[in-house]
Amino acid sequence: MSHSGCYSTVDNTEPLPELRMEEDPLTTSSGGHNQARRLVTIEDLPTELLLLIFKPIFLNPVDANPWKHRDRAFPREYDMRRSAYAFPYTLASVCSKWNNILRLANFFRTLVLIFIDDPLVIQHAKADLNIADNLTIVLTVTRRTADSFIDDPIAEHLIMKEVMEIITPHIPRCRKLRFDLAHTSSLPRLATDFQHPAPLLIALSMEAAVASGLGGLTSHTKSKLDYQSFPRLYELEIDGHNFVDVFRNEDTQNWLWEIRECGERFPVSLRIANYDPEAGSTPQGRFFVFEALSLFGAFNHLELDNLKFSHIARTAEESEIVDPESFAEIQGEYIRLSRLSAELTAVLMPQISTHYAHIIDCPLSHSTRLPSHDGLELRDINYTDTALDLCFLLPPWYGERLWVTNCAIDDTVLAILKKRSGPNEWNDFNASYLKQIRLRDCARVSERAVASLCWAREGKGGEDFIVVERPTDK
């Protein structure tokens, strides 16, 4: 019988290390006639068999890269703390034997998780990094529970200074490096805390749940950040305070443009999350979103989340920054706006010209147009005037696909879409390029309105084809 699949995967890789096989769990009586079986547990599986199981899992992990899913409707959210795929930690926790095997075969230990709310975090971090030896690693510094240190930023900052001291010598061999903390003030300062190049690093993520000012974990004050710091970097996720710090610094601003050069080989991604100018120390003053529009347009994928950037000039100097003539168009493949104010959303919308746009929990009351020429997803937009806003914004929209999830829309929005732009039959429908609508968890939309929309656009000479889905499950 022919065998394929995981067998061929194992056969085509490097030979497995020689590890001693466990004794056969079968025992015999002194007479050799009656075999007496003891209780067999999962720990009795032979080491060689376990290695044959572990190695394909190691070589073919589930891709946990969140960027891979962000250009789809309803993207999958990924959380390392609750993932079933955090190899080898999930397998090592099964039993002591599995843990010992995974420790002996150190080439499995390429994923290193450091939990700062672990009472033994320093000991465990040193042990895990030493097991990994000189291998290329994926390093994540995070918390086991999302509420850890939320009420104690000082304690988090102190433990992070110790952790940073331990991991700094290992950063040059990191392929991916992620910090997922409670407070931005506990994060490394990108401009000064990375003093040595990381030539293997392709993804850097520094995020925190609460905007509490600029971080900093070392005594360094002079920046060494340049293109040679992370020459292969093409995924950057940073907090807003670090972004403003790097952008406003003449010695480091060019670095943000230089990493764009990787775009010739990879889709370059930038995510900026959590910025509050009134939180912590912000010596740079207010940051205007217009300052960075040109930079934003240089990235294939862009995400802006919970940023309190300014958009209204208060002085003559600020008026020069807010000059509409200098506004740059944000182009690229994908943009995601999340938890922005109505005013900031309205400023960004006219500048967006991307294939896909994803708007989450952003009021549309001040907006004058919807972005994107292909697909648009609206999610968690539940404000009093949401339906009225969309009745105004949708008729001139040129997008082809519209996904709406958990938004306060009603039958009036669908009624607008079944109308034509003029009184005659040859006039185009509103949103004339629309070919697909997908509704999910929009309780105020009736089945009658959905049926009426389909009949109007498909049954009265409309050239476009429309599909309406109303999944009941999330």
As a whole number of angstroms, the distance between CA 98 and CA 59 comes to: 18
Q: Does position 14 have pLDDT exceeding 50, yes or no?
A: no
Tell me the per-residue pLDDT of 229-267, one tens digit each, with 9 for 90 and over: 898 898 999 999 999 999 888 878 888 888 776 655 666
The predicted pLDDT at position 86 comes to: 66
Q: Does position 462 have pLDDT exceeding 70, yes or no?
A: no
What residue ranges do the domains of the chain occupy?
A: 41-371, 373-474
Higher pLDDT, 176 or 325: 176
User: Do 303 and 325 contact (CB within 8 A), yes or no?
Assistant: no
**C-alpha distance from residue 24 to each of 29, 40, 48, 96, 466 (Å):** 14, 10, 13, 18, 64
The predicted pLDDT at position 264 comes to: 57
- CA atoms 106, 125, 127, 79: torsion sign: negative
Q: Does position 309 have pLDDT exceeding 50, yes or no?
A: yes
Confidence of residue 64 (pLDDT cuts 50, 70, 90): very low
The predicted pLDDT at position 1 comes to: 42
In the three-class reduction of DSSP (H, G, I as helix; E, B as strand; rest coil), residue 93 is classed as coil
The predicted pLDDT at position 46 comes to: 84
User: Do 362 and 382 contact (CB within 8 A), yes or no?
Assistant: no
As a whole number of angstroms, the distance between CA 414 and CA 432 comes to: 14
User: Do 190 and 155 contact (CB within 8 A), yes or no?
Assistant: no
In the three-class reduction of DSSP (H, G, I as helix; E, B as strand; rest coil), residue 307 is classed as strand
Q: Does position 473 have pLDDT exceeding 50, yes or no?
A: no
Q: Does position 26 have pLDDT exceeding 50, yes or no?
A: no
The answer to whether the predicted template modeling score (pTM) of the entire model surpasses 0.95 is no
The predicted pLDDT at position 313 comes to: 58
As a whole number of angstroms, the distance between CA 336 and CA 377 comes to: 9
Provide mean pLDDT across the span 202-211: 93
Q: Does position 24 have pLDDT exceeding 70, yes or no?
A: no
Tell me the per-residue pLDDT of 365-390, one tens digit each, with 9 for 90 and over: 888 889 877 899 999 999 988 999 99
Q: What is the mean pLDDT of the chain?
A: 79
Tell me the per-residue pLDDT of 403-434, one tens digit each, with 9 for 90 and over: 999 999 999 999 999 888 777 665 788 898 88
Q: Does position 198 have pLDDT exceeding 80, yes or no?
A: yes
As a whole number of angstroms, the distance between CA 470 and CA 404 comes to: 10
The predicted pLDDT at position 332 comes to: 82
Q: Does position 322 have pLDDT exceeding 60, yes or no?
A: no
The predicted pLDDT at position 50 comes to: 83
The predicted pLDDT at position 11 comes to: 41
User: Do 333 and 358 contact (CB within 8 A), yes or no?
Assistant: no
The predicted pLDDT at position 210 comes to: 93
Tell me the per-residue pLDDT of 78-130, one tens digit each, with 9 for 90 and over: 454 445 456 677 777 788 888 788 777 777 778 888 999 989 999 989 988 88
The predicted pLDDT at position 12 comes to: 41
Q: Does position 45 have pLDDT exceeding 60, yes or no?
A: yes
How many other C-beta atoms lie within 10 A of the C-beta of residue 320? 11
How many other C-beta atoms lie within 10 A of the C-beta of residue 216? 23
Q: Does position 5 have pLDDT exceeding 60, yes or no?
A: no
Q: Tell me which long-range contacts 197-200 makes (C-beta under 8 A, separation of at least 24).
A: 197/172, 197/228, 197/229, 197/230, 197/231, 198/171, 198/172, 198/174, 198/229, 198/230, 199/172, 199/230, 199/231, 199/232, 200/136, 200/172, 200/173, 200/174, 200/175, 200/232
Mention every residue, 6+ apart, whose C-beta is less than 8 A from residue 296: 270, 302, 304, 328, 330
Q: Does position 195 have pLDDT exceeding 50, yes or no?
A: yes
Place of tokens 């480091």: 252
